[in-house]
A = this chain, B = another copy of it.
Amino acid sequence: MLQPELKLRRDKIRSLMTLKDIDAALITCNANLIYTYGQVVSGYLYLPLHSPALLFFKRPNNIKGEHSFPIRKPEQIVDILKEQGLPLPPKLMLEGDELPYTEYVRLASLFPDAEIVNGTPIIRQARSVKTSVEIEMFRRSGIAHAKAYEQIPGIYREGMTDVELSIEIERLMRLQGCLGIFRVFGRSMEIFMGSVLTGNNAAYPSPYDFALGGQGLDPALPGGANGTPLKEGQSVMVDLGGNFNGYMGDMSRVFSVGKLSEEAYAAHQVCLDIQEKVSSMARPGAVCEDLYNAAVDMAEKTGFADKFMGIGQQAKFIGHGIGLEINEMPVIAPRMKQELEPGMVFALEPKIVIPEVGPVGIENSWVVTNEGVEKLTNCAEEIIELGK
């Protein structure tokens, strides 16, 4: 990562710190370190308002640089700040929504005279508007993601289960350069590389906060494919995370074994229409709840309200910000007054579950431009018959 890009990102955080009179940030969670330092390290980036950031690192042991200091434990940070002639911050922010309680308390205790505040919302706000470098990384990952999905029809074999198909798609994604790891914010989501859902498994309620559920293979990971054989007349939705360079691109496509019911094709078209409608509304200043309400309104008018975003347990969002984590700001959901801004990147995923058939719908990643939105994940959107 080039220094001007890192400086830009750090200054985005600093601007928001200024608004809250925060003098410095101590950053140590991996996604935030990738954002502000360009790579994962075991250590801490100390980001003061008015002087360059300092890195205090434990591992790897081969880091060099003017502002980098090896440490064994965080208690050394304050001494080094003093040695460097830097003032201790009257008001310091820590990653309160991300750091474990005992670690937060330990870090706070290093600055006994400082007011300590939760910096996670500020960093998430800064991260929600992507730089042009980040948008270009999404663009590249969208191309790789699409290349993997385009090969899916060719790997299907009659008699496969959803899990077997998922394994071959995971391999396609990895061969395109997917890092595999699926980063999420918070504890409400946990998944391997993504989900492949067919038939009634798509309606199985899951503990996780994804658009659709699935039973999974084990109570230790109750989400996604569960070993259901792929059957004539059923749909398969592929929704794998596209992490090719740290940025979590998101894309879903639907396949079929043979032909589906007319209702399924109609529902799929409704989802495409919702995507068309919402993406035409999405531009700087558009309010997230308005986008959500427009989608729900179309699902209601077409008679699919009770199957929209699941059956029985329905997800209460149609889209979500993406970035270094799969669930960033903004969220396209009820009561979300947030307005879109140029540079925001989000996944839009209107989906409908048809009993005895499976899931239909679409998901793409989009970036907000000055005038509207640009699609980052481009490949065929119709339901593609497997093995044809």
Contact = CB atoms under 8 A, between A and B. Distances in A.
A105 to B, nearest CB: 8
Interface of A is mostly: loop
Contacts of A29: 187
A221 to B, nearest CB: 5
A1 B96 CA distance: 35
Interface in A162-196: 163-164, 167-168, 170-171, 174-175, 177, 179-181, 186-188, 190-193
Contact of A218 (B42, B104, B246): B246
A96 B105 CA distance: 10
A118 interface: yes
A205 interface: yes
A40 interface: yes
A313 B59 contact: yes
A15 interface: no
A38 B219 contact: yes
Interface in A1-43: 1, 28-30, 34, 38-43
A277 to B, nearest CB: 29
Given A40-B207, A97-B101, A100-B96, A219 B1 contact: yes
A217 B179 contact: yes
A85 interface: no
Interface string A203-215: 0011111000100
A369 interface: no
A132 interface: no
A84 interface: no
B170 A207 contact: no
Contacts of A104: 101
A61 B313 contact: yes
Interface in A56-78: 58-62
Contact of A59 (B41, B163, B180, B209): B209
A279 interface: no
A228 interface: no
A45 to B, nearest CB: 13
Given A97-B101, A205-B59, A181 B221 contact: yes
